[in-house]
Structure formats: structure tokens, C-alpha cells
Amino acid sequence: MTKKIVLTLILISSLSLILALEELSLEGAKEILLQQNLDYLSVQATKEKSEFNEKSAFYSYFPTASLSGNHTRYEPEGIQTGGYSNQIGLSINQPLLANGSIYYNNKIQQENSRSSELSVRQKRVELLTQVEILYYNALESQKNLAIAQSSMERAWKAYNNGKIKFQQDVIAKDQLLRLQVDATNKAITLLNSKNTYADAYRALKVYLNMDKDFELTEIDFVSDGSLLTNQRKLSSEFSLEQEGTLVKGNSAYQDLLSRLVKLSREKNPQIALAKSGISLANYSLKLQESSFLPTLNLSLNQNWSATETSSDFNDQTTLMLNASLSLFPLVNKYHNVNAQKMNLKAVNYNYQSMLNGLESSLETALNNYFTSLERIQLAEQTLMLNEEIFKQRSSIYEANLISVDEYLDAQLELEQAKQQYNSSLYGFLKSESTLRRTIGLENNSELANIITLVLEEK
């Protein structure tokens, strides 16, 4: 009865997921994410805004001009001017010395524009690597669900065969109950696997902000055995293991690590943002210091006027050179300068802290990358061993030469080996995504090129 209920639930849930589903590849998920993610759209809008601000600051170097005009009527009419007067004025102003405010404001806007571009890159790396991990989690849980379903079917089959053996007095009552308990336990495990898959699937769907259901597409690394073989060759060339960690004395490994650190210093948007923050703080300090300097402005005013009695326009030209020096409040400016000095120190400390922790973070991510790759080979060997053991024990069990417990132990070890192998495959892919996020790379092509280059030079 329990078996029928579980199979019915699985059938209903499977049909609801499979019918009329479109395939969604990992690359397709990335495209959808970048099109719909509100955080990414927000940083893109901020980038466009900073570009307009940069252009606006640049045009502050150019002169400003304004045109004015007025018409005035007199009641009663004036003796000399008549009943009205017309005036037109043109004013042109060119800042010659703006105590550095125009120059440093322009530099600040340029740096803001660069920072916003780096923020877009950082958000892309963050989003793309995270959607990869969520996609791998969903695929992994989907595979584990298939393993659990196959395991449950095998357990119920063993129980039904056990009932026949019990009727033939081949096995005892306790062994039959043991088979029944195992089948029921496998049914519960299947339900747990189904919930785990549903959670992983939902997490991916929510992250993509999608309403429609979809079918996952297998990753080439998992489906193509040659890709896995090539990855193993990479691992075998670097260090191998010594007490659970990579050999730090290996020259190829050290060369790879140093190259990745250098690459991250140059291209990691988070590091670049911290460095840009230093430039921004420095320009802000210069702007405050320059506020003590005088300003110098050149202006040209041209006025034309006419009245009822003198209808011809009379023109008047005025050329002025204005200079000003702010005297008060000096104390306020002094404290503003000191505040910017402290801000410059703070961003410098933050930048140095990030650089100091970079190599350690990269080394941890790189070790996890190679360790997870080695774990695949171990998991595959373990799976092959347990498949052979289960095959042998199944034959012996059918011949009634071993107990039910020995048969179930072999079956449990096989299921665990399958899950371990499955987890090792996607665990490596997730470690690769984490490594790229630490470096600051969107895709794995540049990482693969660096690894290949180090191997060629070895």
C-alpha cells in the first residue's frame, strides 16, 4: 500500500514537471538572469547616469552665455523716454580660475563613471557564478532523485521476492521484516530527495525571476567523458596530494597561483573598485584643499536699449575681470580637509587589506578546485568497486548463500557510492565557479588558458 501511494505521488509530480516544459540550458539561464535581474539593471542604470554626469562636468570648462530682454511701459509717459523702453542684453562668462573646483569635479565624475563600470562587472561575475552554482545544485539533486527512485524500486522488488522466499521457508520472519523496513525507508528517502530537488529547482527559478517551469539541460563536463578525462590530466600535472593538501613546493602549482594572483590584482572588479576608491578620495581631498584658493572669472556684457523717443538701439559693452577670495568660514573648510584626509587613509587601509587577503583566498579556492577534481576519480573507483560487490552479492543472495543484512549492506554502499560520485562531479563544477568568482572572471575560458599555458611551460 505504501509503495502504491509513493509511486502515485511521484508519477503526479513528475507529470506536472515534464509536460510541456521547455529546456533551459545554463547559458540560457545566464542570459535570462542578466535581462531580468533588478540588481543588475540597477547598476547598469547607475553606470549610464554616471556617464551623463561625467559629460556634464566636462562642459563646465566651456563659457556660459545668457540672453535677456525686457519691455517697459511708463505711466504717465516719461518726458525723455516716452511711453516705453526696450532692452536686450547678452552676457558671456568664462571661468579662468575656479579654485580647482571645475578640474577636480571633472576628475571625480570620471572616477565615478569608472567605478560604476566596475560595479557592473562585479555584479555580472557575482550573478553568473551564483546562477551556475544554483543550476549545478538543481542538476545534482535531480540526479540524486533518480538514484533514490531506482533504489526504492529495487527495495520493493527485493521485498516481494523476500515474501516468496519466506513462504518457501528460505528466509526467516525477521529477515522479511528487514526487507520491508528497508523498502519503507527507501520510500521516505525518495520523498526527501523529491523535496530537496524541489527546493533546489525553486531556488534557481526564483533567482531567475521566472514564472514558467523548465527542464534542466545536462552540463557538457558531466555528459562528455572526454572533457572529464582532460580535466584529470590537468590535475595530475599539478602537485599531487600530500597529507590532504597540494604540495606547495610544486613549481607548476606555485607558478599557476602567482599568475592567478596577478590576474586578480589586474582584473578583479572588487580590487579595482577599492583602488578606484583611493583615486576618488584623493580627488575629493584636493577639491577641499583648493577651496582656499581664489576664483577668477572673465565676463562680457553687451546691452542694447531703445525708447519711444529714440527708436534706434544704443549699445553698451562691458568687459569685466572678477576675482574673489573666500575668507570665512575658514574653520569649516579646515575640518572638511581633515575629514577627507581620514577618508583617504580609510580607503587605503581597505585596499591593502583586500590585497593582503587575496593570495590566501585564491590559494584556498585553487586547492579546493584541484582537490574536488581528484575526488571525482576516487568516487568513480569507489562506485565501480561497489557495483561489482553488489553484483556478486546479489547473485549469492539469490542463491540463498548470504543473509538479507549482507545483501542490504551492499545495496546501501552502492547507493552511497552513486550519490558520492554524483556529488563529486557537480562539486568540482561549483568549486570552479567559486575559483572564478575569487579571481573575478565571468567564464572559464581565461582560467583554462592560464592553466594550459603553465602546463606548456612546465
Q: Are 290 and 101 in contact (CB under 8 A)?
A: yes
Element spanning 411, H or E: helix 404-439
| HEC profile of 253-312 | HHHHHHHHHHHHHHHCHHHHHHHHHHHHHHHHHHHHHHHHCCEEEEEEEEEEEEECCCCC
pLDDT of residue 14: 53
**Which domains occur in the chain, in start order?**
2-64+99-296+328-457 (1.20.1600.10)
Residue 68: strand pairing partners: 89
- Coil, helix or strand for 407? helix
Strand pairing category for 295-307 and 245-246? unpaired
pLDDT of residue 413: 94
Amino acid found at 337 = V
Q: Are 256 and 235 in contact (CB under 8 A)?
A: no
- Coil, helix or strand for 315? strand
pLDDT of residue 400: 84
Count Cβ atoms below 10 Å from residue 19 Cβ, excluding itself: 8
Q: What is the DSSP string of 63-117?
A: -EEEEEEEEEEEEEEETTTEEEEEEEEEEEEEEEEETTHHHHHHHHHHHHHHHHH
Distance from C-alpha of 359 to C-alpha of 369, rounded to nearest angstrom: 15
Q: Are 129 and 335 in contact (CB under 8 A)?
A: no
Sole residue written with cell 526487507: 179
Distance from C-alpha of 217 to C-alpha of 139, rounded to nearest angstrom: 8
pLDDT along the chain (458 residues), means of 10: 54 51 91 94 94 90 89 67 78 84 91 95 95 97 95 92 89 91 94 96 95 91 72 64 48 85 90 94 91 86 80 80 79 87 95 92 92 88 94 89 89 94 94 94 84 74
Q: Are 418 and 118 in contact (CB under 8 A)?
A: no
- Residue 398: phi and psi, rounded to 5, are -65, -30
Nearest one of 116, 4, 96, 103 to 51, comparing CA atoms: 116
